[in-house]
Every structure is written in C-alpha cells, then in structure tokens.
Amino acid sequence: MLIKNPKFEISAVSKKQYPTCNLPEIVLVGKSNVGKSSFINTMLGRKSLARTSSTPRENTPN
Ligand SMILES: Nc1nc2c(ncn2[C@@H]2O[C@H](COP(=O)(O)OP(=O)(O)OP(=O)(O)O)[C@@H](O)[C@H]2O)c(=O)[nH]1
Ligand SMILES: [Mg+2]
C-alpha cells in the first residue's frame, strides 16, 4: 500500500461532521492507550500525524 500525502482531516464527534469524500475507510479499534495512534504513525511513516500520549500502557492482562 502506498500512501502519498496523509493529512489529518477532522476528529468528528457527530455524524454531520463526517467527511463526504468517497475514499475507502479503515476502522482501527482498541482500548485507550494501547497504541492505535502509534500504529497509524508507523503505517504512514510519520512521527506525529496522530497524537500519542506520553505514558505507555502497563503490561497488564485484559
Ligand atoms: N512498549 C510499547 N509502547 C508502545 C507501543 N505502541 C505504542 N506505545 C506507547 O504507548 C503509549 C500510548 O500509545 P498511543 O498510540 O497514544 O495509544 P492510543 O491507543 O492511540 O491511545 P488513545 O488515543 O488514548 O486511545 C505511547 O506512550 C506510545 O509511545 C509498543 O508497541 N510498545
Ligand atoms: Mg490515540
């Protein structure tokens, strides 16, 4: 997969804010602080397009 020009569009909190373009969508689900934003940055080859928190999640079950 080649991603040429990634950009942050919006952090939508209601349906009326959803982007209207017809690009494919990817859903990324996970508990808070588990590394979703870090994963996005890694996949895009960018350091901080998605903001990450400073403290890693403790390595606990569940
Ligand atoms: N040890 C370790 N730490 C990681 C890994 N991935 C992310 N982190 C750290 O875990 C913390 C949380 O990562 P985020 O990417 O902000 O997690 P998130 O799931 O986006 O968090 P929310 O947006 O709060 O839901 C950051 O300090 C990352 O540096 C990993 O694979 N290993
Ligand atoms: Mg995040």
28 lines ligand 1 (CB under 6 A): no
What pLDDT was estimated at residue 62? 60
Closest-CA residue, ligand 1 atom 26, reads: 56
Q: CA quadruple 48, 54, 60, 62: dihedral positive or negative?
A: negative
Q: What angle do CA 62, 30, 14 make, to 5 degrees?
A: 135
How does the average pLDDT of the chain come out, rounded?
A: 89
**Is 70 exceeded by the pLDDT of residue 11?**
yes
- Please state the rounded mean pLDDT for residues 7-15: 93
Q: Which of 53, 58, 60 is the pocket-test mutation for ligand 1 (most atoms within 8 Å of CB)?
A: 53
Per-residue pLDDT tens over the stretch 20-30: 989 889 999 99
Q: CA quadruple 5, 18, 40, 1: dihedral positive or negative?
A: negative
Longest C-alpha distance within the chain, in Å? 39
